[in-house]
Structure 1
Amino acid sequence: MSVLDAVSRRRSHSKVTATAPSHEELLPLVAAAGTVADHAALRPWRLIELRDDARVRLGEAMMVASGLDDESGAKLAGKPLRASLLIAVVAVHQPSFKVETWEQDATASGVAHMLSLLLTEAGWGVMWRTGHLTRTRPVREMHHLAENEELLGWLYVGGIADDAKDGAKRSINPEEFVTVL
């Protein structure tokens, strides 16, 4: 199978089963994802595995950040439990006179996207989730982020359910997105 075929088949899986890759299974995928374009080889990213109680603590931090302590807050707190593995994607801003912060964020995003493709090809369901609580103080503190770090979101990872819809992804007309000068 070609890379074009693999990328064209990528789908987000909003619902996954409780199975997930182990830490050991994840490592070679992270090593491969780490080969993305990276101006000045700063490696301005890191990943945080959230499993078990860490997902509960994230839900609690999200609830605190939202200010909701009712049924809506409880529902919000349950969101990180949708997958047994969450991978937090963190941009680590390195001092550089030639690589802007936005470019470092782009590298971290590239790692996340490449990892999602690799996980998909390894047979896992993946969905990249973000939201308005991603950069709140309680969520930052729960992830133990340093001042030079920004949370870009989480990859929710799990098994693909037998009844998962493998619907056709809406294709684009590339002519609408490519300008020729």
Structure 2
Amino acid sequence: MPEPEFPERPALAALRARRSHSRVTEEAPDREELEYLLSAMSSVSDHSALKPWRIIEIRGAGREKLGKALAKANGTSKDKGIAKAMRAPLVLAVVVSPKKSSKVPYWEQESVASAVAHYLSLLLHEAGWGTMWRTGDAARSKKIRKAHKLEKHEQLLGWIYVGGVRERDRRVKRRKPLDMERHLSRM
């Protein structure tokens, strides 16, 4: 079925072009750019405006600390854990930091943190950075909790690995269209 003719809007174009980059260069956004992009997260849908999330910026030696914790959590060698953490020059840990609320359940607050992770990945992509969202069983392990200094009530959702986009990965690949019969229904 041919796509209908609608005007291409910047957010739509960015979303259609976004893709994951498992390999990135050693360039990364600096703290100022990261803060600028994070400032847009105040627009994320957030029942009662609880802001139940936070981001932990991991660079340099922090990545080695993360790698050691990954190795312990996964039961692998220290070298293997460190290699995983060094896949990108910047790693952003996305943390659900729920607030006490009689109106907003935990699952809804976790959804807000997930939206922040996705929107931030989209904004990083639009700014020219490559990202890869990484999770796994280790994200909820005691070793990882300790390394990230999480509070008792907090949970780690995963990490956004960020770096420069390799030249060979700059071309946009067409994606398989969604099956609307499966993904869009009526009540």
Structure-2-length-normalised TM-score: 0.91
Aligned to 1:170: 176
Shift of 1:109: 0.5
SS of aligned partner of 2:175: coil
Q: Output the CA distance in 2 between the equivalents of 1:129 and 1:119.
A: 15
Shift of 1:67: 2.3
Aligned to 1:4: 12
Name which of 90, 93, 101 aligns with 2:95: 90
Q: Output the CA distance in 1 between the equivalents of 2:180 and 2:40.
A: 28
Number of residues of Structure 1 aligned to a counterpart in Structure 2: 178
Q: Output the CA distance in 2 between the equivalents of 1:26 and 1:107.
A: 19
The runs of 5 or more residues in structure 1 that have no matched partner are none
Shift of 1:64: 1.1
Residue identity matched to 1:159: G
After superposing the two structures, state which structure 1 stretch, 48-57 or 164-173, moved more.
164-173
Residue identity matched to 1:17: T
Residue 152 of structure 2 is aligned to residue 147 of structure 1: yes
- Cα RMSD of the aligned pairs, angstroms, is 1.3
Structure-1-length-normalised TM-score: 0.94
Q: Output the CA distance in 2 between the equivalents of 1:151 and 1:45.
A: 10
Name which of 2, 8, 25 aligns with 2:33: 25
Deviating beyond 4 angstroms after TM superposition, the runs of 4 or more aligned structure 1 residues are none
Shift of 1:176: 1.1
Residue 45 of structure 2 is aligned to residue 37 of structure 1: yes
Aligned to 1:75: 80
Shift of 1:33: 2.4
After TM superposition, list the pairs within 5 Å mapping 1:51-66 onto structure 2.
Answer: 51-66=59-74
Residue identity matched to 1:60: K
Q: Deviations over 1:106-151 (max 9, x none)?
A: 0000011001110011010011110111110111110000011100
Work out whether residues 11 and 169 of structure 1, in 8 Å CA contact, stay in contact via their aligned partners in 2: no
SS of aligned partner of 1:14: coil
SS of aligned partner of 1:34: helix
